[in-house]
Structure 1
């Protein structure tokens, strides 16, 4: 990832009593884990789910606000883009973003910066952290050893991020190599309008016991139980919470997922996403 660090600006360090609010979007726990790790080191930080915010909005008086979210199809998830309209009313002095991804942040944070600018918002800094992939249509998350390596590297990166946030560093956002930003941005633009109906590839095998967990977990309330049959209603966000958290591993997507290991962050429990 390349940055023009000649553009880095450092403001006087804020004191430890400065209240911070981090809004996060998480389907399988990576972003929630990252948000918690940031909050632990920053101190005096409130974590708010963007999903919960949609139904429980209130006054936010933090002057420092963070956004933590996954990269979806090499870009910013629709929910995060929609949340920016809410961010306008909060008028924070410093906004940072952390985009978790499987190694291809591409143009995601640049896209976020541009969209925020169009809304009169300034993204002060933006960082990428690499986590195990949850995009099961393309494979599993890798071995436990590889996952642990990624977690360890992410902890180090988060500590570095916290130091920069404490110093109110303002610098260009992190981004992938040029080829990613060209090819993957094109794929994002091509795919983005069709994300809601991508749920057409979900199906259920005979292990389903109608527990209803997927129905409860879906952030878009896109899944309903009709009798003993699950129905996806074409409002999908591709967070993949439903397939990754299914206790029976009965949910599938396309032809290959029956052979792939499920993944959710080992330090996150399903109840953490249902508060």
Structure 2
């Protein structure tokens, strides 16, 4: 097993060098870590190289080079591929690596991964984040952590380079449960904001002036103050699908979540925001 001590001599690998991976890598480099990474998109590789990340050929090469690999791809199916394919992290690392999953995945899949990798020697941490791209750039994201306590604390100094608030919430998968809850509330707030401000406008009152007041009122919420509806929202369908699928498994009714899923879909249709043409995710 690799015995790297987190600090300036540790190498952090990042699989996925886009809007999350690139700024995370930049913060880690600034703190003295060595950073390697990979991405299938040339533009992402190029931008990562510009900030000093050493770009490697694929996940296996990253797994071979790194002491800790942070996965920040989009879907369960992509996590599956970068972990288990012939060119995957595990093929390169051969068990000698710790893995932090920064992707938002379903809690059920996280627990399945834990079972599948229990005898592998791989250390697993889940590490989804909140607060969006601007917070990634400034190093002020919030992290929902899960996994073995000693393993999590081993890598906390690395996480502190790009996060201002870090919560270790329990065993592996607990972070994904918390991120699911975060997303349910986020999209519910955005739905309520949209409906309320459309009604305000229909009744002849300036919605922007009302928004200013609401941001200081008891209706204040993150999506209202950050004008989140003006930014891309590619993950809304995925986020709500995770919540509703987990509710089915848990045999609990979440009628508000079902309604929010449809409200967000309607918002995207009305505003010409692209929606996924296929159902992505694990099959």
Place the TM-score, normalised by the shorter chain, in its bin.
Answer: 0.3 to 0.5
> Higher helix share goes to which structure?
2
Q: Give TM-score scaled by structure 2 length.
A: 0.40
**TM-score normalised over the length of structure 1:** 0.40
Larger relative contact order (Cα-Cα within 8 Å, sequence gap ≥ 6): 1
